[in-house]
Homo-oligomer: A and B are copies of this chain.
Amino acid sequence: MKKTQSIPITSLQRLPVYLNYLKAGGGDGYVSSGTIARALGMGEVLVRKDLAHTSATGKTRVGYRRGELIEAIENCLGCRTRRTAVIFGAGGLGRALLSYGGFANYGIEIVAAFDSDPAKAGGSVAGKPVYLPAEAERVIGESGARLAVICVPASAAQAAADMLVRCGIAAILNFAAVILKVPADVSVRNIDVAANLAIASSGIKEE
């Protein structure tokens, strides 16, 4: 298995797209990069280059064994290593993510959430407990969680990130519209939902 770190981020971002396509297809026959490219409306050379970053080896003219390719992509994405994650902020988005089943596809289990609102802490959402931030160090330590999702307003996001890093979190998915300052060994990905909708709308062709 090649190291994930050697894959360009743009290729890494496309691996889940291939994975979803391959899993939806079913069966365990062969699938070629050309078939994948046509189904997803992508260039075949790009697909072949992306898949070359995984450990999958295609056969000339027939392509990849579907099952092996799925496994190779899952290895790259770390799906076959169980990992635990916490959610910081149990407002609308945080609660939606606590109830979301899609993380399991990537071997990720959400184990707890934190919220500074005492009315939210102490309860649970979808069976996941919600704690006050003061309990973060204990809960994160005991769970061994290295991943966190930040779902607090922009004004509270940096303080949340600082606390999470102190508790041993090594990778953050950040929904707040701010650039987080974190140590170099902490990985951050940002999802700005409103910005994404604005970018989608900037692609509107007519008018």
Contacts and interface: CB of A to CB of B under 8 A. Distances in A.
Interface stretch (A55-63, A75-83, A112-120, A127-135): A75-83
Central interface residue in A83, A149, A189, by most chain B CB within 10 Å: A189
Contacts of A85: 197, 201
A189 B102 CA distance: 18
B193 A97 contact: yes
Central interface residue in A39, A77, A79, A198, by most chain B CB within 10 Å: A198
Size class of A's contact patch? 35 or more
Contact of A21 (B21, B77, B179, B205): B179
A178 B147 contact: no
A105 B194 contact: yes
A40 B79 CA distance: 30
